[in-house]
């Protein structure tokens, strides 16, 4: 288990387009583990590799529906839309309202290198879109309205940080 520092807004790696992963090697499996451990420790519900300084197309998500580890995720389709509050582990203390699709289908490779397809709705769909944006160098503040200070530590705002 390895906890890694999370890159903050201003770090140029957050604005780079991440590279595709040619093969789910042991190095990529280790990266998935580091991302997962760091996400849970933060605590957050999603984390993309560029957020820990690795410009590769690798994400992890757990919105309370089980851990999802995805390599080279691609948004195959999206439908519906909903505006909801979002935060990001790389931009602590800030939240904003972001319009996202309510249902998505995402394809990628799992931690064994097998192709998987995920049909998601609600907050999981939102988290997938947020993390895939990270791989394009896009941050939620680029899309958000009503950007504001997050409510205090004592409430549940941390749970929205992806």
Which residues are the active-site residues?
131
- In whole angstroms, the minimum distance from the beta carbon of 100 to Zn ion comes to 13
C-alpha distance from residue 40 to each of 8, 83, 105 (Å): 17, 26, 24
Q: CB nearer to Zn ion: give 41 or 117.
A: 41
- In whole angstroms, the minimum distance from the beta carbon of 112 to Zn ion comes to 26
Q: CB nearer to Zn ion: give 83 or 115.
A: 83
Q: CB nearer to Zn ion: give 28 or 135.
A: 135
- In whole angstroms, the minimum distance from the beta carbon of 134 to Zn ion comes to 6
- In whole angstroms, the minimum distance from the beta carbon of 89 to Zn ion comes to 6
Q: CB nearer to Zn ion: give 124 or 162.
A: 162
**Could you give the CA distance from residue 106 to residue 43 in angstroms, rounded to a whole number?**
24
Contact residues: Zn ion, CB under 5 A: 88, 162
Q: Edge-to-edge, what's the strand order for the sheet holding 94-100?
A: 82-87, 94-100, 145-149
Please list, in sequence order, all residues whose beta carbon lies within 8 angstroms of the beta carbon of residue 76, skipping any fewer than 6 positions away.
104, 105, 106, 107, 117
Helices (H), the chain: 26-41, 122-135
Residue with the shortest CB distance to Zn ion: 88
């Amino acid at each position: 288990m390895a906890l890694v520092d999370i890159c903050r807004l201003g770090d140029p790696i957050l604005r780079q387009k991440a590279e595709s992963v040619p093969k789910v090697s042991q190095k990529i499996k280790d990266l998935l583990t580091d991302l997962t451990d760091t996400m849970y420790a933060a605590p957050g519900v999603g984390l993309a590799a560029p957020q820990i300084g690795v410009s590769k197309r690798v994400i992890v998500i757990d919105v309370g529906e089980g851990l999802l580890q995805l390599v080279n995720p691609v948004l195959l389709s999206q439908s519906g839309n909903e505006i909801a509050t979002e935060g990001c582990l790389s931009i602590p203390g800030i939240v904003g309202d972001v319009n996202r699709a309510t249902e998505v289908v995402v394809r990628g490779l799992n931690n064994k290198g097998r192709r998987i397809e995920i049909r998601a709705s609600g907050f999981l769909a939102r988290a997938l879109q947020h993390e895939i944006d990270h791989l394009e160098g896009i941050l939620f503040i680029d899309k958000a309205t009503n950007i504001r200070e997050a409510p205090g530590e004592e409430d549940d705002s941390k749970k929205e940080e992806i």
